[in-house]
Amino acid sequence: MKIELMLFAPVREAAGTARAVVPTHEGATVREIATAFLEQRGVRWDTLPPVRFAVNEALVGDDHIPQDGDRVAVLAPFAGG
């Protein structure tokens, strides 16, 4: 199965990409998927601000298990206005 990983702002800059289609295994959580992807690119969580996750534009917990084709977004703290 595959998900679309979406990265923004400081997370996008650290990873060097905004979007990636990522193969995952059944039962993998959003945090596990993002961790594996970032580690491949040499990025550790402790170099980033604390993040939350969204699946298909709705916030989810770190242990949410996405489905095939879901859009998984890694979100640094919001700073609009």
Partner 1 sequence: MEHASGKLIVRIEEGVIAEDAASHLADARSGAVASFRGVVRAHDGGRDVAAIEYECYREMAEKEMTGVLQDAMSRHDLHAALIIHRNGKVPAGETSVLVAVAAAHRRPAFDAVREIVDALKTRVPIWKKEHYRDGSSDWLLPR
Whether the Cβ atoms of residue 9 and residue 28 lie closer than 8 Å to each other: no
| 18 versus 25: smaller Cβ distance to partner 1 | 18
Q: Alpha-carbon Rg of the chain, whole angstroms?
A: 12
Q: Tell me which stretch binds partner 1 (CB under 8 A): 23-31, 35-43, 54-62.
A: 54-62
| 3 versus 27: smaller Cβ distance to partner 1 | 3
46 lies in the site for partner 1, by CB under 8 A: no
| 55 versus 65: smaller Cβ distance to partner 1 | 55
∠ CA 21-26-29, rounded to 5°: 75
